[in-house]
């Protein structure tokens, strides 16, 4: 596969972005195949770790164009595990789509200007694995929080990385055992 094709698990639309800075906006999702180890044990799309359907950038844009949403969310797996992702972003933006990319930040990013990057770092052995290029490219951060320790680690990560431009951060609570008064 070269940079003029991408491996796609699924394209679905006429839906609503349910989380992060674009929550509530109509969106079309393009789930790209492939991820980067170490894998998240709580992943809700493990099927995306496998090879998807190889599509040309033109085919992806034509499929996305069937849906009415202006917003296209590239997700995975890990979208930047594929070398064709930056060219796909450009192809979509050329057709006047607004593009956001959800990334773990585990791989170096090449991001076309105007792309909204939402970095959702994951902890492995107590540390977040995030490349400096992801830190510099991210517009927002999204953390999976399952307990107080996760929340504390997310806060520490934000504090440590304030040298990079952080417009905001969001948390996704996966358990309801946090003391709401503390947060």
Strand 123-124 relative to strand 127-128, pairing: antiparallel
How large is the average pLDDT for residues 30-52? 77
- pLDDT for the residue 172: 60
First-to-last alpha carbon distance for the chain, in angstroms, is 46
From CA 57, how far away is CA 34, in angstroms rounded?
17
From CA 166, how far away is CA 159, in angstroms rounded?
10
From CA 77, how far away is CA 170, in angstroms rounded?
20
pLDDT tens digits, 54-99: 999 999 999 999 999 999 999 988 999 999 999 999 999 999 999 9
| pLDDT over 80 (residue 15) | yes
- pLDDT for the residue 144: 81
| Superfamily the domain 5-182 falls into | Aldolase class I (3.20.20.70)
| pLDDT over 50 (residue 25) | yes
From CA 75, how far away is CA 107, in angstroms rounded?
14
From CA 4, how far away is CA 55, in angstroms rounded?
9
Most confident of 18-27, 78-87, 107-116, 120-129: 78-87
Tokens 């099927």 map to which residue? 47
- pLDDT for the residue 123: 83
Given strand 169-173, what is the order of strands in its sheet?
53-56, 5-16, 26-32, 71-75, 98-103, 116-119, 140-145, 169-173
Most confident of 17-21, 26-30, 123-127, 178-182: 26-30
From CA 113, how far away is CA 125, in angstroms rounded?
33
- pLDDT for the residue 146: 80
| pLDDT over 80 (residue 39) | no
Give the burial string for 66-88 (b: 16+ CB within 10 Å, else e).
Answer: ebebebbbbbbbbbbbbebbbbb
From CA 137, how far away is CA 105, in angstroms rounded?
9
pLDDT tens digits, 129-155: 888 888 888 888 888 888 888 888 888
The whole model's pTM is what? 0.85
Residues 179, 147: contact at Cβ < 8 Å?
no
């Amino acid at each position: 596969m070269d940079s003029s094709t991408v491996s796609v698990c699924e394209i679905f639309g006429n839906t609503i972005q349910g989380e992060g800075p674009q929550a509530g906006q109509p969106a079309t999702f393009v789930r790209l195949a492939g991820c980067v180890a170490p894998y998240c044990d709580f992943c809700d799309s493990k099927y995306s770790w496998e090879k998807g359907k190889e599509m040309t950038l033109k085919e992806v844009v034509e499929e996305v164009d069937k849906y009415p949403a202006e917003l296209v969310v590239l997700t995975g797996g890990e979208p930047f595990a594929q070398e064709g992702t930056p060219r796909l972003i450009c192809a979509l933006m050329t057709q006047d789509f607004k593009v956001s990319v959800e990334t773990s930040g585990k791989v170096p990013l090449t991001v076309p200007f105007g792309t909204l990057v939402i970095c959702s770092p994951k902890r492995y052995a107590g540390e977040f694995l995030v490349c400096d290029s992801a830190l510099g490219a991210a517009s927002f951060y999204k953390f999976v929080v399952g307990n107080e320790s996760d929340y504390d680690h997310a806060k520490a990560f934000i504090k440590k990385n304030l040298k990079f431009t952080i417009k905001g951060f969001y948390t996704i609570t996966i358990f309801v055992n946090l003391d709401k008064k503390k947060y």
